[in-house]
Structure 1
Amino acid sequence: MPTMSKAALLLSVILLQQVLFGLLWTVAARLRLARPAALQWALAAWLLAAGMALVLLRGQAPAWLTVAGANTLLIASFVALRRGVQRFARCAPTDREHALVLALALAGAGLAAVVASRASLLPAVMLGAAGMGWTLLRAAHEVRRRLVGEFGRTAAAWCATPLALVAALIVGRGVMAPFERELFTNYVTRPGGGNVPVAFSSLAFGLVLHVNLTALVLLRLVRRLQYRSDHDMLTGLLGRRPMEQRLRTETQRQRRFGGRFAMLSIDIDHFKQVNDRFGHAAGDAVLVRVAQTLREAAREVDSVARMGGEEFCVLLPGADRAGAEAVAARMLDAVRALRHPEAPDLAPVTVSIGLALVDAPAEPLQAVQRRLDQALYGAKAAGRDRIQCAAAPTSADPAVCA
């Protein structure tokens, strides 16, 4: 019984590796973890495993099948890999480009099958190397460019680098084929292609690539869960818990470095009447529209949260009284100007706003909250659709904003 070469042994390990990754991505797709991308990556792993199986048959099956056919499967695998990257990165597909690359690979395989000589395999090998290298380099570029914003430069580089290195190995081997006849002969006739360093590098880079892709999928899942934990699902604003954390952080920052900040407590006037007259679906639509308006009227540095029901809170870092009043007035006017098609005969929806300026580092956050609540109650008692400034920490009565 012939002994398996080191290159063939390594390719056998790659074949097993790709089968396992194919199963992994199939399970991920069933669990709806990045399903569109996972389906493509599972297909890529299965096609790569099939290509490795043909490479292991070199010297035992027809060369056009084990060389040109294997290269075609490998190109199809890399195309599926790139399509998965495009879906994961939410970028436009390039299916025409993929079709052209596959057509060239099939043309090389057809030429090799018709001519059926070793010389005819050289164009197929070079076309295959060019197609694989191009597809992998393009995938590496898309990973590097499109995933930086979501995952950062380091994570994007970790995913792009294995793709680029495998592309360089494949292209280098294709370029050397016409000049290294012995290398080309071994590549065509020996199981595994007879090149241990290339086989070992492909094994290592394939492992790193799939591990990194898995890490990105899990990282996106964690961030999505974190987002859902921190944000109100109806309005998309921050929830109560993260807003309270930001308030504590801002208070600690003020105590350490000084400065000031302001808070707004906002309540939709007579919101219960909207639900009672038009139903909860209409009420939800009004809530979403008001929440979006508050977010748009706030400054970029401000944090806007839904604290529960029809109550909202806005944190304005570094704002003085005039700046906070300007933001509150902008919100008041913008909400009043809204129109709600779900409730056509409804009077304009308005909000009451309590405003508290925090410029005393020693004031506890609970005391600030009490002043803010009193200001909001004062705005309601004074007739609603207005802004009420909270009393200073040493004053007993709230002040009406100008």
Structure 2
Amino acid sequence: MNIPTLLLLLLVAQHALYGAAWWVGAMVLRLPRMAALHWMGYCLLLACSLLLHALDLGLSEGLLVALRNAGMLLACMSVRRGLALFLQRDPRDMEQLGVLIGYLLIAAAIGPQTDQLVARHALMGCALAWVLCRMGAEQVSALRDEFGVRAAWVLALPPIVLGLGLAVRGLHGWWFDVHVGLRLTDDSQGNEMLLLTVLALSTLFQFSLLYLVTFRLLKKLHRLSQQDSLTGLLNRRAWDQALGTERQRLRRRPGPLALLVIDVDHFKRINDVYGHAAGDAALVAVGRALQNVARATDVVARLGGEEFGILLLDTDVPGATAAAERVRHEVSQLQVSHGLEMISFTVSVGAAVQPATESESLRLDELQACADAALYRAKAEGRNRVVIEHFGQQPRLRMA
């Protein structure tokens, strides 16, 4: 057994193992199923195609070449389609179908004769190069915003390099009429280099796919760890992180800052009279109302229970007052259905405003404590109202 045969069998075993891993990922680990199954198909098709170079099935060389080429082309189309599904891009089915039909028509025109194997090999190289290079270009386009241009190119290089290498190899053999090495088990230095290159690039490509899946999973877990499961707003942990980030920003660029703490009035009564499902629906409605009122730069979070918070960047007393009144008014217009009844409710809002002159001296936890005190007064004064706390002044009550 020569070195090319050993390398080829190693490639077959490698892709069979990768295929089994993607199947486990799709069926057991709940990876993106359609993408993982396409990648499994790519691995198994490529393994079968490579195995046809080593097996003696008693078939003509022309038929073996046709089967090997068809398997490799379908394998590359499968991985490209799976990657497009994973990245939520157009899978380009019509383009891929056109490439497949074009290849079959040109291959039929060339004919199955043994003296045309070099031409068919060159055609295969060009078809694979088209699919692989297009896949690499689509990766760069899809990943550059998420990973950066440099990382996107690193992830896209393996299929592009492999595709160009296959095209060059096929066209070189056709142009110079080189028949040696058309079968990958032929003992030649060219086959050794090709198989080593494919072994390295396929390993790198599989790790690239695994990196994409792992990165998406970690990103999803990070998002879930910072998201309130009921309302979809940030949770208390993310709120505290946002306060810390804002503290750092204010040290570099002082400015006014406002913080609103919102509490649903008589929320326990809603749960007691209408049930917890109605209470949850009320909280969801409040969360949506706060998102509608807030600006894109504001931070909106559910602080716990029926309490919410909004961090208003670069906002002074008039701005905080207007924002708090919009919140109170928006929620007062809400109605949540419960059977044949419509539930209405209100909120109390406590606001604290930090002037730009105190950006460096005041701690944000003190700002939140002041907003909590303002909220307590708003509830004590009858609810459904806003109390604004401005440092250095007494709390100011705004009646509903």
Does residue 191 (structure 1) correspond to residue 189 (structure 2)? The answer is no
Moved more, 355-364 or 228-237: 355-364
Give % identity.
36
Q: Is the 8 A contact 1:58 1:190 kept in 2?
A: no
Letter in 2 for 1:191: D
Preserved CA contact (<8 Å) 1:40 1:84 = yes
- Please give the secondary structure, in 1, of the residue aligned with 2:232: coil
Tell me which moved more, 215-224 or 51-60: 51-60
Contact 1:59 1:190 survives alignment (8 Å): no
Aligned to 2:173: 177
Aligned partner letter, 1:93: P
Equivalent runs, 1:357-368 vs 2, <5 Å? 357-359=353-355, 360=358, 361-368=360-367
Moved more, 354-363 or 203-212: 354-363
Aligned to 1:156, the other structure's residue is in SS state helix
Structure 1 runs, 4 residues or longer, greater than 4 Å off = 57-61, 104-112
Q: What CA distance in whole angstroms lies between the structure 1 residues aligned with 2:68 and 2:50?
A: 7
Q: Deviations over 1:3-42 (max 9, x none)?
A: 41x3333322222221221122122112112222111111
Q: CA contact under 8 A between 1:58 and 1:191: conserved in structure 2?
A: no
Task: Give how far 1:225 is off.
Answer: 0.9
Aligned pairs (5 A) from 1:121-140? 121-140=117-136
* Deviation of the 1:317 alpha carbon: 2.1
Q: Kindly provide the CA deviation profile for residues 49-91 of structure 1, in whole angstroms up to 9, marking residues without a partner as x.
A: 1111113348985322332211110111111101110111012
The farther-off stretch of 197-206 and 68-77 is 197-206
Residue of structure 1 in register with 2:99 after alignment:
101
**Structure-to-structure mapping, 1:8-23, within 5 angstroms:** 8-23=5-20
SS in 2 for 1:316: strand
**Per-residue deviation, residues 104-135 of structure 1 (Å, max 9, x unmatched):** 455567678xx542134345334422322222
Matches within 5 A, 1:215-294: 215-255=211-251, 257-294=253-290
Provide the aligned length of Structure 1 versus Structure 2: 394
Q: Hey, what does 2:53 align to over in structure 1?
A: 55
Which whole-Å deviations, capped at 9, do the CAs of 1:187-244 have from their partners, x for residues lacking one?
A: 1585388533322221111111111110111111111111111111111111101211
- For residues 97 and 274 of structure 2, the distance between their equivalents in structure 1, rounded to whole angstroms, comes to 54
Per-residue CA distance 1:236-291 (angstroms, 9 max, x = gap):
11110121122133234434543231110011222233333333223222222221
Pair 1:256–1:122, CA change in 2 (3 A): closer
Q: What residue identity is the alignment partner of 1:8?
A: T
| Unmatched tracts of structure 1, length 5 or more | none
Runs of 5+ consecutive residues of structure 2 not aligned to the other structure? none
SS at match of 2:382: coil
In the alignment, the residues of structure 2 paired with residue 335 and residue 189 of structure 1 have an alpha-carbon distance, to the nearest angstrom, of: 71
1:113-160 Cα shifts (integer Å, max 9, x gaps): xx5421343453344223222221221122111222333333322221
> Which of 64, 67, 80 is 2:62 aligned to?
64
Structure 2 residue corresponding to 1:24, chosen from 14, 21, 24: 21
RMSD of the alignment, in Å? 2.7
Residue in structure 2 matching 1:41, options 35, 39, 42 = 39
State whether structure 2 residue 308 is matched by structure 1 residue 309.
Answer: no
CA distance in 2, matches of 1:111, 1:58: 27
Q: Is the 8 A contact 1:389 1:399 kept in 2?
A: yes
Q: Distance in 1 between matches of 2:11 and 2:117?
A: 24
2:382 corresponds to 1:386 = no
Letter in 1 for 2:240: E
Partner in structure 2 of residue 76 of structure 1: 74
Q: CA separation in 1, counterparts of 2:109 and 2:116?
A: 7
- How far off its partner does 1:375 sit? 0.8
Q: Distance in 2 between matches of 1:85 and 1:144?
A: 12
Could you tell which deviates more after superposition, 347-356 or 250-259?
250-259
Q: 2:323 aligns with which of 317, 321, 327?
A: 327
Deviation sequence 1:304-345 (CA, Å, 0-9, x none): 110111110111222211222232223223223334334664
SS at match of 2:300: strand
TM-score normalised to structure 1 length: 0.88
Residue 150 (str. 1) matches residue 146 (str. 2): yes
CA deviation after TM superposition for structure 1 residue 44, in Å: 0.6
The 1:317/1:186 distance shift into structure 2, 3 A limit, reads same
